[in-house]
Each structure stands twice: as structure tokens, then as C-alpha cells.
Amino acid sequence: MALHYFHMADGETILDAKGTDLGDLSSVRNETVRTTRDLLNLRQNDKIWDGKPWKVWVTARPNGAGRTIAAIEITASWLA
């Protein structure tokens, strides 16, 4: 098991200093998807449609430091 740090940016950047203990890369991948989904549900508002990317990324060290292990970036635009 190793600590992995999940960070988020959506106009505001939130860096993880605590970490989550996960055993393998499959678990990291699954947690990255779950975290992204949960954040989109919790923070859903008109801001997501401004064309600026939302990003969740995982590093091997706290506060955004270290190697990036996984990342999901989402950009949404209103095309009507």
C-alpha cells in the first residue's frame, strides 16, 4: 500500500496534503474516476460550462508535488 494524493482544479485549486492509501494502479485509476464523478456532482453549477478545464490529478507526494500518476481533465462548453 502507498499513499496517493488527489488534487483538483476548477478555477480554484485544492491540493491534497493527507493522501489516500491504495494498493495498486487499478485502485488509483478507479478512485480517480470516482473522485472526479463525485466532485462534478457536488460542485455542479453553471461554472462548468465556461469552457475552462476541470482537472483531477493524482501524485505520489502531497500538495501537488512528485510524479503525476493519473489525471482526468474535463472541459464543457455550451454550444446553443
Q: Is the C-alpha dihedral spanning 20, 54, 43, 31 positive or negative?
A: negative
pLDDT in tens, 3-58: 999 999 988 899 999 999 999 999 999 999 999 898 888 766 667 777 888 899 99
Q: Can you give the pTM of this predicted structure?
A: 0.85
Read off φ and ψ for residue 64, nearest 5 degrees: 85, 0
Q: Which residues pair with 54 in a beta bridge?
A: 74
Domain ranges for the chain = 2-74
Convert the pLDDT of each residue in 17-26 to its tens digit.
Answer: 999 999 999 9
Mean pLDDT (whole number) for 51-78: 92
Tell me: pLDDT of 59 over 80: yes
Please report the pLDDT score of residue 13 as a whole number.
93
How far is Cα 80 from Cα 73, in angstroms, rounded to an integer?
23
